[in-house]
């Protein structure tokens, strides 16, 4: 190809990417070839002239990052991999087949895919995270390129990304917007009115350039301008045609996510199969910045004093940040409530304020962990529900991520139900490969925060608003998957299983029960996933299978169901009374609300008494 100009070569490469996208979809009998075809020229210029990426060291922080926010254009990405010689034609044609690394939407099963996409509007906010990492942590000239579809611009998360990228001066971030006008079922709200996107981007503080996305020279100039722009991110708004190059489907509605009727004819129309190979430029070698560290000195709380677990979270995280240079923190404008502010004060260079934008909060953390940073994210447990799709997708991304939700349950008191995390155990348990922790005291919290940093997956820590008694010594160790038996005897009649705020209630209930001659075993099940089945089985055996679980959470999917689930297949199944919040709470004092929900000491004792009586009668 020596005699070709840059433009000619890139045009040819674009056609090859189209042809290969059609071949893949035809072989798979599914896929989104027309969505790949609109963006093919944009990507041809990018990988031929701009992307700096070493396929042999994909996690090298010096590499540019390429995120396909429109993950359904996966064939375009995979056709680039073939052009770059990192997958064979055979592997390319295994697209969407069971066991293939080339899934319907990109996932990190492939080493060059940093994050899973396919839930729209996530790529750009995640790109904010990778750009933050490069600029402020690794301190390398790596650039993040995000390919966005125009349909996904309707997602609010995209505008969170726009605002945060500008706020953090991310001139190392370029978004390439493939305005092919057509969504899954019709035209977008904006259509081909490129100026609307330009005006919006500018109003959010970006540099924006409108171009013809099939004119490779215009694309080239836009990328040059993006790279040269300092102080702000750049949006390249590219007018494109869905299905470009094949007359039958060009700009025709109704061909989203459909294979072409006659792939061979389409390939012929595009000029046939090509065997262009590209040499993607490698990045300048560069060592990422590393923060200095000291030895770990977790906070130590005196037994018998009181501290809120949310405060212990902040203090432990700050200590962990001193000991580990890879730990970073993000919070959603409530750092004085979650106490992430303690970390922010101790390690301002490793703290990112994400304001009230929980989707961007989670997404940035997903981006930060791509090259090995260990993000800790915090906000109210209730508001993590705002970023739930991002957490779900973080699991598909195989992300390593620690999340803390404060203000769990009715124990928060006066603020009322909008601020109460009452579904967080259920939702985090249902995240693939997650860890769910709910400590009841400060020292336990500190140890678990340190342990979270080594979890290979998504770890969730549920913390409390009110101060709780410190019951464990600062030298006691707590492992993920463990529990603590706080009270037991050889003649236990019933086991009370609690976590967080209900641990003290369970202990108080045990005192009341003792007055009636009922011996209650009390278990602090601080690790809800994974959980300590062995200790529960021992309790079943000791108590003739009488268990009361008590949680400041809805009855569904929480502590009680976790216990039932762990014991459901056991030879001896306990009878489990599940105490949980069943009515919609209002405002009130913490104690009033615990009582109203039937999860305070009095109600626990009553449930246990009834259970013991019933089972004695029926035994």
| Binding residues for its own copies restricted to 528-567, rule: CB under 8 A | 529, 554-558, 560-562, 564-565
352, 329 Cβ separation under 8 angstroms: yes
Interatomic CA distance for residues 47 and 70, integer angstroms: 17
Is 457 a residue that touches its own copies (CB under 8 A)? no
Interatomic CA distance for residues 463 and 91, integer angstroms: 47
By CB under 8 A, what part of segment 135-154 binds its own copies? Answer: 151-152, 154
| H helical segments located in 405-547 | 424-429, 442-452, 502-515, 533-542
Among positions 1, 4, 203, 273, the unique one binding its own copies when judged by CB under 8 A: 203
- Binding segment toward its own copies, per CB under 8 A, in 129-137, 200-208, 281-289, 488-496: 200-208
Interatomic CA distance for residues 327 and 369, integer angstroms: 10
Chain centroid offset of residue 578 CA: 30
By CB under 8 A, what part of segment 367-426 binds its own copies? Answer: 382-383, 385-386, 388-389, 392-393, 395-396, 398, 413-419, 422-423, 426
Pick between residue 99 and residue 517 the one whose CB is nearest to its own copies: 99
DSSP string, 267-278: HHHTTS------
Among positions 90, 99, 275, 295, the unique one binding its own copies when judged by CB under 8 A: 99
Is 272 a residue that touches its own copies (CB under 8 A)? no
367, 130 Cβ separation under 8 angstroms: yes
Element housing 38 (H / E): helix 33-45
Pick between residue 44 and residue 92 the one whose CB is nearest to its own copies: 92
Element housing 458 (H / E): strand 458-462
130, 114 Cβ separation under 8 angstroms: yes
By CB under 8 A, what part of segment 331-350 binds its own copies? Answer: 333-337, 341
| H helical segments located in 497-551 | 502-515, 533-542
Pick between residue 59 and residue 573 the one whose CB is nearest to its own copies: 573
By CB under 8 A, what part of segment 100-119 binds its own copies? Answer: 100, 102-105, 107, 109, 116-119
User: In whole angstroms, how close is the CB of 265 to its own copies at the nearest point?
Assistant: 24
Is 576 a residue that touches its own copies (CB under 8 A)? yes
User: In whole angstroms, how close is the CB of 219 to its own copies at the nearest point?
Assistant: 24
- Binding segment toward its own copies, per CB under 8 A, in 7-15, 282-290, 306-314, 581-589: 581-589
CA distances from 551 to 405, 506, 576 (A): 16, 10, 13
Total residues found in the chain within this entry: 619
User: In whole angstroms, how close is the CB of 196 to its own copies at the nearest point?
Assistant: 7
Pick between residue 15 and residue 337 the one whose CB is nearest to its own copies: 337
Pick between residue 60 and residue 359 the one whose CB is nearest to its own copies: 359
Is 193 a residue that touches its own copies (CB under 8 A)? no
Among positions 5, 57, 85, 199, the unique one binding its own copies when judged by CB under 8 A: 199
- Binding segment toward its own copies, per CB under 8 A, in 161-169, 231-239, 243-251, 504-512: 161-169
Among positions 23, 135, 200, 407, the unique one binding its own copies when judged by CB under 8 A: 200
Site string for its own copies, 70-89 (x = CB under 8 A): -x------------------
User: In whole angstroms, how close is the CB of 235 to its own copies at the nearest point?
Assistant: 13
Determine the size of the site formed for its own copies (CB under 8 A): 115
User: In whole angstroms, how close is the CB of 66 to its own copies at the nearest point?
Assistant: 18
Percent helix, percent strand, percent coil in the chain, to nearest 5:
40, 15, 40
User: In whole angstroms, how close is the CB of 536 to its own copies at the nearest point?
Assistant: 13
Q: Which two tokens stand for residue 618?
A: 């029926």
314, 341 Cβ separation under 8 angstroms: yes
Interatomic CA distance for residues 593 and 587, integer angstroms: 8
Pick between residue 259 and residue 483 the one whose CB is nearest to its own copies: 259
Is 159 a residue that touches its own copies (CB under 8 A)? yes
Pick between residue 91 and residue 333 the one whose CB is nearest to its own copies: 333
Per DSSP (E only), the strands in 214-349 are 234-239, 306-308, 327-331
* Beta-carbon count within 10 A of 477 CB: 11
361, 354 Cβ separation under 8 angstroms: yes
Pick between residue 140 and residue 146 the one whose CB is nearest to its own copies: 146
- Binding segment toward its own copies, per CB under 8 A, in 186-194, 282-290, 300-308, 482-490: 186-194
By CB under 8 A, what part of segment 36-55 binds its own copies? Answer: none
Torsion of CA 204, 207, 210, 212, to 10 degrees: -130
Is 456 a residue that touches its own copies (CB under 8 A)? no
**Which residues are registered as beta bridge partners of 379?**
405
Among positions 251, 514, 575, 606, the unique one binding its own copies when judged by CB under 8 A: 575
The CA angle 105-458-432, to the nearest 5 degrees, is: 55
Q: Helix, strand or coil for residue 75?
A: helix
- Binding segment toward its own copies, per CB under 8 A, in 193-201, 236-244, 265-273, 500-508: 193-201
306: annotated active-site residue: no
Catalytic residue among 358, 423, 551, 561: 358
Would the CA dihedral through 129, 459, 413, 338 be positive or negative? negative
Interatomic CA distance for residues 271 and 259, integer angstroms: 19
Is 587 a residue that touches its own copies (CB under 8 A)? yes
| H helical segments located in 84-237 | 89-92, 123-132, 156-167, 194-203, 216-228
Among positions 20, 114, 155, 493, the unique one binding its own copies when judged by CB under 8 A: 155
CA-nearest of 395, 429, 423 to 410 is 423
Pick between residue 27 and residue 538 the one whose CB is nearest to its own copies: 27
For tokens 């009715």, what's the residue? 410
Q: Which residues are catalytic?
A: 358
């Amino acid at each position: 190809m020596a005699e070709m100009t840059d433009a000619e070569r890139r045009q040819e490469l674009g056609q090859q990417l189209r042809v290969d996208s059609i071949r893949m979809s035809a072989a798979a009998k599914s896929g989104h070839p027309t969505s790949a075809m609109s963006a093919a020229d944009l990507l041809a210029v990018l990988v031929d002239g701009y992307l700096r990426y070493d396929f042999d060291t994909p996690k090298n922080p010096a590499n540019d990052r390429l995120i396909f926010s429109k993950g359904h254009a996966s064939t375009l990405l995979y056709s680039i991999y073939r052009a770059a010689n990192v997958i064979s034609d055979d592997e390319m044609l295994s697209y969407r087949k069971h066991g293939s690394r080339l899934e319907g939407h990109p996932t990190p099963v492939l080493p060059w895919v940093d994050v899973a996409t396919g839930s729209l509007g996530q790529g750009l906010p995640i790109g904010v995270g990778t750009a933050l990492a490069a600029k402020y942590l690794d301190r390398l000239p790596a650039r993040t390129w995000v390919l966005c579809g125009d349909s996904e611009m309707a997602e609010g998360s995209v505008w969170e990304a726009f605002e945060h990228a500008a706020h953090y001066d991310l001139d190392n971030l370029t978004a390439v917007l493939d305005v092919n006008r057509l969504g899954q079922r019709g035209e977008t709200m904006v259509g081909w009115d490129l100026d609307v996107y330009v005006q919006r981007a500018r109003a959010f503080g970006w540099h924006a350039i409108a171009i013809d996305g099939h004119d490779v020279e215009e694309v080239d100039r836009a990328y040059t301008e993006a790279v040269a722009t300092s102080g702000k991110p750049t949006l390249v708004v590219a007018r494109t045609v869905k299905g470009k190059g094949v007359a039958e489907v060009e700009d025709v509605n109704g061909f989203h996510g459909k294979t072409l009727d006659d792939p061979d004819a389409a390939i012929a129309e595009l000029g046939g199969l090509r065997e262009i190979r590209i040499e993607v430029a490698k990045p300048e070698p560069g060592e990422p910045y590393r923060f200095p560290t000291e030895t770990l000195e977790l906070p130590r709380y005196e037994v018998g004093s009181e501290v809120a677990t949310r405060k212990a979270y902040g203090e432990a995280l700050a200590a962990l940040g001193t000991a580990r240079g890879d730990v970073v923190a993000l919070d959603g404008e409530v750092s004085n409530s979650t106490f992430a502010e303690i970390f922010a004060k101790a390690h301002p260079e490793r703290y990112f304020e994400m304001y009230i934008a929980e989707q961007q909060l989670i997404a940035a953390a997903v981006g930060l962990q791509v090259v090995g940073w260990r993000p800790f994210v915090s906000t109210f447990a209730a508001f993590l529900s705002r970023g739930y799709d991002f957490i779900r997708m973080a699991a598909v991304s195989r992300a390593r991520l620690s999340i803390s939700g404060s203000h769990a349950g009715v124990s928060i008191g006066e603020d009322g139900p909008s601020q109460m995390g009452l579904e967080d155990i259920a939702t985090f348990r249902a995240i693939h490969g997650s860890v769910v922790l709910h400590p009841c005291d400060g020292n336990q919290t500190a140890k678990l925060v340190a342990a979270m940093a080594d979890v290979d997956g998504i770890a969730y820590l549920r913390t409390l608003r009110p101060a709780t008694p410190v019951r464990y010594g600062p030298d006691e160790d707590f492992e993920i998957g463990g529990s603590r038996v706080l009270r037991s005897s050889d003649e236990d009649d019933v086991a009370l299983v609690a976590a967080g705020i209900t641990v003290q209630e369970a202990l108080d209930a045990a005192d009341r029960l003792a007055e009636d001659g009922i011996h209650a075993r009390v278990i602090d099940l601080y690790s809800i996933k994974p959980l300590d089945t062995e200790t529960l089985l021992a309790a079943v055996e000791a108590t003739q299978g009488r268990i009361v679980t008590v949680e400041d959470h809805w009855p569904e999917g929480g502590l009680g169901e976790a216990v039932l689930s762990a014991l459901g297949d056991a030879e001896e199944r306990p009878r489990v009374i599940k105490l949980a919040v069943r009515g919609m709470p209002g405002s009130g004092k913490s104690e009033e609300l615990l009582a109203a929900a039937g999860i305070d000491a009095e109600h626990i004792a009553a449930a246990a008494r009834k259970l013991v009586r019933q089972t004695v009668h029926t035994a």
